[in-house]
Amino acid sequence: MTIYIKVKPDSSELTVDTSKNMIEVELTEKADNARANTQLLDFIKQKTGEEASIKKGHKSRRKELRMNLSEEELRDKLEG
């Protein structure tokens, strides 16, 4: 499935907001050398147990992810 996520790198703490139309994740890593992307994928794996990959948006704040969960399932797991 394809899921869209908005990220904000270089934040003071790692947070997730699933209440908006698009899932928003604030990351503590900077965008340099794909560190924020790596943190995002590691965080998703930790919370869901599922692998995710960035399909589009490697250098953008708006990411298009590919994973084996629906957006609703991802929201549920990120909230829990």
Strand partners, 8: 26
pLDDT tens per residue, range 51-64: 999 999 999 999 99
Q: Are 15 and 66 in contact (CB under 8 A)?
A: no
pLDDT digits 0-9 by tens, 1-48:
999 999 999 999 999 999 999 999 999 999 999 999 999 999 999 999
Please give the domain boundaries of the chain with CATH numbers for all domains. 2-79 (3.30.1200.10)
80 has pLDDT over 90: no
Helices (H), the chain: 35-48, 71-79
Instruction: Render pLDDT for 67-76 as a digit per residue (tens, 0 to 9).
Output: 999 999 999 9
Distance CA 20, CA 60 (A): 19
Total-model pTM: 0.94
Q: How distant, in Å, are the alpha carbons of 42, 53, 55 from that of 2? A: 18, 10, 8
